[in-house]
Amino acid sequence: MKSRLTFDHSNDFAMTHSLIQKYNVPGPRYTSYPTVPYWDESDFTYQNWIDTLKRSFAESNSAEGLSLYIHLPFCESMCTFCGCNKRITKNHDVEHPYIEAILKEWAIYCNILEEKPIIKEIHLGGGTPTFFSTNNLEDLINGIFLYAEKAKDHEFSFEGHPNNTTRAHLQKLFDLGFRRVSFGVQDYSEKVQKSINRLQPFHNVAKVSFWAKDIGYTSIGHDIIFGLPFQEIDDVIDTIEKTNSLQPDRLAFYSYAHVPWIKGNGQRGFNDEDIPKDETKRRLYEVGKDLLFENEYYEIGMDHFALKSDSLYDSFEKRKLHRNFMGYSSSKTQLMIGLGVSSISDSWYSFAQNVKELEEYYKLLESDKLPIFRGHLLTEEDLIIRRHILNLMCHFETSWKDKKLYFAEVPEIIIQLAEMENDGLLTIEKNGIKVTNAGKPFVRNICMAFDLRLKRKAPETKLFSMTI
């Protein structure tokens, strides 16, 4: 492995360093457009969702199938870095009623749809999906397919906790059609792990990764976070070198987003001043990313990296990469249905979110209603902007050569992007823009220039700071 000593002193580093500082402004992750804070709920109705659901299903089911996101919210302990909707409990009696509720929600959907759904993708997220027993997970998946068919080239994935994912979990889900699994690693430093209440030795991650490979999973992912409390450069280097020794097929390397007021995080093992800031955090990212490149992980969209052998890399190369509330996917479906508390569904023409509280979720299902509490009906403008943001997030370029993708604010956006072009982050062409390699870490800043709803609701939002 190459020495790390020359890295910190290069001119390229200094340049990148200052750019990271300049573009270090808060911005959405763009798993949707419009982003959830800027949904217009006033025009949304329950019937809107049903109508757009049916429309999208009729347009796409036979050609490409649909995606299912299933939220499994239970965890045995609280990870203090987590902003997901979860319920902390050691009582596993909650499993069966929740599985039954999800299957009821799915039955309501299937009664609404005109024909049998063809399922292209399933993603089990959490919470901790491996909180559930193998029997209950089997009941869940088999229950889903009482009303549906598997697409020939289906892609099923789940999130596994390295501490409680058993070989039996991996084998059972493999037998049910799952071929992709992601494990939350975060960081291998015991000091960091203690601060976020997530103690998991390297041995545990290695064990589940080897089991998955042995069983036959074709894509194993690891999630790594930079900017965690007490995290130092040596911690990031150690974590990525340990990760490389296990050769996961893909990985996410993303920033810790500290939200001190987040509900339900309780007592945490750190203070705000223990979180790496500014220069230190920037170096954590730069050193980590450089190591990933050295280990032949290629940048795929924002914060994601993959080996050339992984399907995510292949879909990126073939311009088939897609992004939705489940993150990046190597296959696209127009319709995504979210099941379980807080899940978000996407018909392409509208979004709908389920209620967040478990008790309310159960109550609404008892009355044979979909447990939706809010949503957004996309306008024609939204659909155009959504296409541009997807292009940028998935392909690092977009174009309005097709007149259907042109909109009145394009000249204004081009003016706003001129500074980024001067900084070498993108090139402005006659009918589009292309993000450069240097610009890839700043793709969300570029997307913000296209985010008309953000601009109208929060006009003071800046794409970059005024100083470097």
Per-residue model confidence as pLDDT tens digits over 97-109: 999 999 999 999 9
pLDDT at residue number 78: 65
Which is more confident, 458 or 4?
458
Query: Are residues 205 and 137 part of one domain?
Result: yes
CATH number at residue 311: 3.80.30.20
Q: With bands split at pLDDT 50, 70 and 90, how would you rate the model's confidence at 11?
A: very low
Instruction: Give 210-243 pLDDT, tens digit per residue.
Output: 999 999 999 999 999 998 989 999 999 999 999 9
Report the domain count for the chain.
Answer: 2
Mean pLDDT (the chain) is 88
Instruction: Give 234-260 pLDDT, tens digit per residue.
Output: 999 999 999 999 999 999 998 876 554
Compute the chain's Rg from CA coordinates.
22
Query: Are residues 417 and 322 part of one domain?
Result: no
pLDDT > 90 fraction of the chain, expressed in percent and rounded: 69
Instruction: Please check the confidence at residue 196 and state whether its pLDDT lies above 90.
Output: no
Query: Are residues 326 and 393 part of one domain?
Result: no
pLDDT at residue number 263: 45
Domain-terminating residue out of 337, 366, 391: 337
pLDDT at residue number 142: 98
Determine the length of the chain: 468
Using alpha carbons, select from 122, 86, 76, 69 the residue that is nearest to residue 358: 86
Strand pairing report for 397-399 and 432-435: antiparallel
Q: Quote the domain boundaries for residue 394.
A: 379-468
Q: Is 50 exposed, middle or buried (0-12, 13-18, 19+ CB in 10 A)?
A: middle
Rounded distance between C-alpha atoms, residue 421 and residue 159, angstroms:
38
Neighbour count for residue 455 (Cβ, 10 Å)? 18
Instruction: Give 292-306 pLDDT, tens digit per residue.
Output: 999 999 998 888 999
Query: Are residues 450 and 302 part of one domain?
Result: no
In the chain, the amino acid numbered 69 is Y
* Phi, psi angle pair for 229, to nearest 5°: -55, 140
DSSP 3-state of 432: strand
300 is a domain residue: yes
pLDDT at residue number 83: 56
* Phi, psi angle pair for 15, to nearest 5°: -65, -50
pLDDT at residue number 6: 34
pLDDT at residue number 407: 97
Helices 202-215/233-246 angle, 10° precision? 30
- 64-68, 368-372, 385-389, 456-460: least confidently modelled range: 456-460
Which is more confident, 89 or 400?
400
Query: Are residues 323 and 268 part of one domain?
Result: yes
DSSP 3-state of 119: strand
Query: Are residues 417 and 330 part of one domain?
Result: no
Evaluated on CA atoms 452, 455, 458, 462, the torsion sign reads positive
Query: Residues 51-60: what's their mean pLDDT?
Result: 97
Query: Are residues 333 and 383 part of one domain?
Result: no
Q: Which residues pair with 254 in a beta bridge?
A: 225
Instruction: Please check the confidence at residue 180 and state whether its pLDDT lies above 50.
Output: yes
Query: Are residues 170 and 74 part of one domain?
Result: yes
Domain-terminating residue out of 286, 319, 337: 337
pLDDT at residue number 81: 55
Query: Residues 88-115: what's their mean pLDDT?
Result: 91
Query: Are residues 173 and 241 part of one domain?
Result: yes
Which is more confident, 142 or 441?
142
Query: Are residues 109 and 54 part of one domain?
Result: yes
- 276-285, 348-357, 381-390: least confidently modelled range: 276-285
318 is a domain residue: yes
304 is a domain residue: yes
Instruction: Please check the confidence at residue 15 and state whether its pLDDT lies above 60.
Output: no
- Cis status, amide bond into 127, omega within 30 of 0: yes
Give the H or E element holding residue 190: helix 190-195
* Contact yes or no for 443/396 (Cβ under 8 A): yes
Rounded distance between C-alpha atoms, residue 421 and residue 428, angstroms:
7
Can you point out the beta strands (E) in 139-239? 149-160, 178-186, 219-226
Instruction: Give 376-396 pLDDT, tens digit per residue.
Output: 999 999 999 999 999 999 999
Evaluated on CA atoms 347, 448, 257, 189, the torsion sign reads positive
6 is a domain residue: no
Q: With bands split at pLDDT 50, 70 and 90, how would you rate the model's confidence at 93?
A: confident
- 58-62, 138-142, 273-277: least confidently modelled range: 273-277
Query: Are residues 419 and 286 part of one domain?
Result: no
95 is a domain residue: yes
DSSP 3-state of 219: strand
Which is more confident, 22 or 412?
412
Rounded distance between C-alpha atoms, residue 311 and residue 321, angstroms:
10
Instruction: Please check the confidence at residue 13 and state whether its pLDDT lies above 50.
Output: no
3 is a domain residue: no
1 is a domain residue: no
Domain-terminating residue out of 317, 337, 357: 337
- Cα torsion for 295, 390, 322, 429, to the nearest 10°? -60
348 is a domain residue: no
Q: With bands split at pLDDT 50, 70 and 90, how would you rate the model's confidence at 269?
A: low
* Contact yes or no for 118/66 (Cβ under 8 A): yes
Helices 167-175/202-215 angle, 10° precision? 30
Using alpha carbons, select from 83, 125, 12, 74 the residue that is nearest to residue 424: 12
Query: Are residues 303 and 252 part of one domain?
Result: yes
Place of tokens 């999130």: 159
Q: Which residues pair with 69 in a beta bridge?
A: 123, 338
Q: With bands split at pLDDT 50, 70 and 90, how would you rate the model's confidence at 265?
A: very low
* Contact yes or no for 353/342 (Cβ under 8 A): yes
CATH number at residue 430: 1.10.10.920
